[in-house]
Amino acid sequence: MAEPGWQTRTGVWRTERPCLLGILNITPDSFSDGGELGSADAALRRALRLVEEGADMLDVGGESTRPGARPVPTTEQIDRVVPVLELLSRHTAVPLSIDTRDAVVARAAIDAGASVVNDVSALRDPAMAAVVRESGAGLVLMHLRGEPATMHQYARYDDVVREVVAELEVVLGRAVGAGIAEDAIVLDPGIGFAKATEHNLALLANLEALTALGRPILVGPSRKAFIGQLAGNPPPAERVGGTVAACVAALFHGARIFRVHDVAPVRQALDVAEAIRTAEARTS
Ligand code: HH2
């Protein structure tokens, strides 16, 4: 069966090949790479490396959403991300995504060249839907309960898969009801957002339930705490093997888009895993 496409401002994104979204955090405090990109030039160098390693899209963020993080004011986010997006637009042809919950930041980022809005709060800002609709940007709707500062207290579920699918179905309906084209939307179970390790594992193992909503699935397990917990607590930058494992498992359960820091190893792993997956599909 053909994979659903993803309509962004720069055209339809075909998800026949696993898509890699390389992470560019322009933040002093991100959990794994905070403070690494202190200037637009450093961000450009990292971006060009990620593209060379096989990133299909770059996700630029000016606010950490790690557990306990405090919100970053609009103007500060804009000051962080807009110069980087402008520079990237001039130097690379890959589509750019803005990781923000703030409609004013999203608007400024789109004007600076972003073609996708990655909103981990799934349209909590009442002005966000209009920004996405009017600009024709692609949209990532992620599952989150509460706010990053407080979300750990909402990591309680009777049936995490059923509840996350039901809650994402509601936000998908709300987005479409607000006039956003369904083709522009991808869904994300929000790995690590108001989820304990057992919840992350159940979601990654049952993404088929989410693909039933008819939109491509994005996952963001990269370097997250559950990998540390399962692998003897290495620091985030040493969670590459666990990230690869989570992405490959997610691919076999239906994910098509992968948001990662370590593009080269994940690209190689997913290209091989996808060849195996499609060979299996042809012979069964
Ligand atoms: N995870 C993070 C940030 N944005 N967006 C989507 N769609 N899905 C995710 O799982 C996701 C996301 C958190 O990771 P990171 O950017 O590495 O850390 P921080 O929030 O500390 O900057």
200-225 pLDDT, tens digit each: 999 999 999 999 999 999 999 999 99
Is 224 a known active-site residue? yes
Task: Tell me the pLDDT tens digit for each residue of 55-64.
Answer: 999 999 999 9
**Number of alpha carbons in the 13 Å side-chain half-sphere of residue 14:** 3
Measured in angstroms, how far is the CA atom of residue 33 from the centroid of ligand 1? 11
Measured in angstroms, how far is the CA atom of residue 280 from the centroid of ligand 1? 32
Nearest CA to ligand 1 atom 8: 220
Question: Using 50, 70 and 90 to split pLDDT, how confident is the model at 165?
Answer: very high
* Average per-residue pLDDT for the chain: 94
| CB of residue 14 inside a 6 A radius of ligand 1 | no
d(CA 278, CA 255): 14
- Please say if the pLDDT value at position 2 is more than 70: no
Do the Cβ atoms of 60 and 98 come closer than 8 Å?
A: yes
d(CA 113, CA 87): 9
Say what the alpha-carbon torsion angle 117, 122, 128, 130 is, to the nearest 10 degrees.
Answer: 90
Residue 30: per-residue pLDDT: 85
Cα–Cα nearest to 106, from 139, 146, 143, 84: 139
> In the predicted model, what is the mean pLDDT of residues 126-135?
98
Q: Is the CA virtual torsion 34, 39, 42, 44 positive or negative?
A: positive
Show contacts of 112-116: CB within 8 Å, 24+ apart.
Answer: 112/81, 112/82, 112/85, 112/86, 113/85, 113/86, 113/88, 113/89, 114/9, 114/60, 114/85, 115/8, 115/9, 115/10, 116/8, 116/9, 116/57, 116/59, 116/140
Residue 1: per-residue pLDDT: 55
Measured in angstroms, how far is the CA atom of residue 46 from the centroid of ligand 1? 17
- Spot the catalytic one: 224, 239, 256, 267: 224
Q: Which token pair is 5?
A: 């496409």
Residue 29: per-residue pLDDT: 85
Q: Treating both helix axes as pointing N-terminal to C-terminal, what angle do 74-91 and 103-111 enclose, rounded to 10 degrees?
A: 20
| CB of residue 120 inside a 6 A radius of ligand 1 | yes
Measured in angstroms, how far is the CA atom of residue 1 from the centroid of ligand 1? 30
Is 259 a known active-site residue? yes
| CB of residue 259 inside a 6 A radius of ligand 1 | yes
- Please say if the pLDDT value at position 133 is more than 80: yes
The CA radius of gyration of the chain, in Å to the nearest whole number, is 17
Residue 200: per-residue pLDDT: 98
Q: pLDDT over 70 for what percent of the chain?
A: 99
Q: Is the CA virtual torsion 11, 15, 18, 21 positive or negative?
A: positive
Give the ligand 1 atom nearest the CA of 261. Answer: 17
Q: Which token pair is 68?
A: 């306990």
Reported pTM: 0.96
| CB of residue 97 inside a 6 A radius of ligand 1 | no
Q: Which amino acid is at 87?
A: L
Give the ligand 1 atom nearest the CA of 192. Answer: 10
Residue 189: per-residue pLDDT: 98
Q: Which residues pair with 20 in a beta bridge?
A: 258
Residue 66: per-residue pLDDT: 87
CB proximity list for 177: less than 8 A, separation 6 or greater: none
d(CA 121, CA 175): 12
Residue 15: per-residue pLDDT: 74
| CB of residue 175 inside a 6 A radius of ligand 1 | no
Task: Tell me the pLDDT tens digit for each residue of 167-202.
Answer: 999 999 999 999 999 999 999 999 999 999 999 999
| CB of residue 30 inside a 6 A radius of ligand 1 | yes
| CB of residue 15 inside a 6 A radius of ligand 1 | no
